[in-house]
Structures are given as structure tokens and as C-alpha cells.
Homo-oligomer: A and B are copies of this chain.
């Protein structure tokens, strides 16, 4: 019997996924968490075989959660179940030590199979997504990502400079370099592209 913990911030989806997995006679959903912190706690008390988790959750993301479990040398294997077919997310997921990465637009019957494979120690990742991840590396430096993130929220260059303790001209330079790297005409295009690619 494979013991599963589910983490997903949308309660409706959480309950539905639990119903789906509990249809399988060899799978048992032992806990449901609505956020990363709750999931971390439940992993430590219930010690499930597999954690199935979304990425975007309040407080702690699924990627943070995976990294934490790895740091704690937990035996629980992590299967990411997310909306985002973004190579940047997959790369970060692998770096965080996850064992599987499944998209929510995959057929529902793949979930149970993926959970079984992950429980056996196999890695479950869509091959096309894996290929895109390595052929589409994040071209932005850490500073560029910080600045683009802030620019995408509507902060002015001056406000970004104050936030990051840089000169306003430095921010303009970094942004200009970022636009060139992403082949974007302005910060709006750059931000959307980077978001879409999972680089932010």
C-alpha cells in the first residue's frame, strides 16, 4: 500500500485529487495539506511514501518544500503536479531533488501510475519538457531577475534602485541588458516572456 500526502492550495482540487487516488486499491491518501508549511509538518508526522504537491502555494512553494525535505534527508519522494509547462520550473524542481514532475494537463490516469513509479524510486518527467529545460537555459543573472521581477510589478527605475540599494542608472543598465538578452522591446514584454519561460 503506497501512502500518499497531497499538497494543493485549492481545496476543491485537493479533495478531487484525493478522490481520484483513493479509487486505486494500492494507493492510500493519508493526508491533505493546503500550504507548504502544513505539508512539511504532515510529512514529518505521517511519513508518507510519496508527496504529491503543486508548486504555487502560499508561504512555501512546492519547490521550497522539496528542498526542505531533501535537507532533512526525508525518505518521502516528491512528485510535482503543476500547471506550468515551464522549463525553468522543471530545472529548479530537479535541483530541489524532486522525483517526478507531472503537468495538470496530463490525463488523470497518469497520476496513479506516476505515483507508483515514483514510489519505486523511478523518475517521472515528461521527456519533451526535460528536453526543453536543457535547451532553453535561463539567460538572466540573479541581479537581472531581481530587477525584472520588480519592474514587472510596476515599480519605477528609481524605486527599484532604492529597493535594491543600487543607483538608478545601474538599474537602467541592467534592464537594458535584460531586454537585449530576451529580445524584448520593453519591460512589459520582457517580464511576460520570462514569466512564461519560468525564468522568474
Residues of B within 8 A of A156 (CB): 185-186
Q: Is the CB of B153 within 8 A of A188?
A: yes
Mask: chain A, 1-17; 1 = CB below 8 Å from B; 0 = not: 00000000111111111
Output the least CB separation between A105 and chain B (Å): 5
Contact with B along A49-64 (1 / 0, CB 8 A): 0000000000000000
A111 to B11, CA, bound (A): 11
Q: Could you mark each residue 99-134 of chain A with 1 if its beta carbon is under 8 Å from any beta carbon of chain B, else 0?
A: 000111111111100000000000000000000000
A154 cross-chain contacts in B, Cβ below 8 A? 184-186, 188-189, 192
For residue A128, give the distance in angstroms from its CB to the closest CB of chain B. Answer: 16
Q: How many copies does the complex hold?
A: 2
- Is the C-beta of A172 less than 8 angstroms from some C-beta in chain B? no
A83 adjacent to chain B (CB < 8 Å): yes
Task: Check A70 for interface membership: any CB of B closer than 8 A.
Answer: no
Beta-carbon contact of B189 and A9 below 8 Å? no
Interface residue? A92 (CB, 8 A): no
- Provided the pairs A15-B109, A154-B186 are in contact, do residues A10 and B83 lie with their beta carbons within 8 angstroms? yes
| A18 / chain B contacts, CB cutoff of 8 Å | 108
Contact status of A12 and B104, CB under 8 A, knowing A20-B19, A23-B19, A184-B154: yes
- Name the one of B11, B104, B184 contacting A13, with C-beta atoms under 8 angstroms: B104
A-B contact pairs, 15 of them (CB 8 A): A10-B104, A10-B105, A11-B106, A12-B103, A12-B110, A12-B111, A14-B108, A15-B107, A15-B108, A16-B111, A19-B19, A151-B188, A154-B185, A154-B186, A156-B185
Apart from A12-B103, A154-B184, 16 more pairs, CB < 8 Å: A10-B104, A10-B105, A11-B106, A12-B104, A12-B108, A12-B110, A12-B111, A13-B13, A15-B20, A16-B19, A16-B108, A18-B108, A151-B188, A154-B192, A156-B185, A187-B188
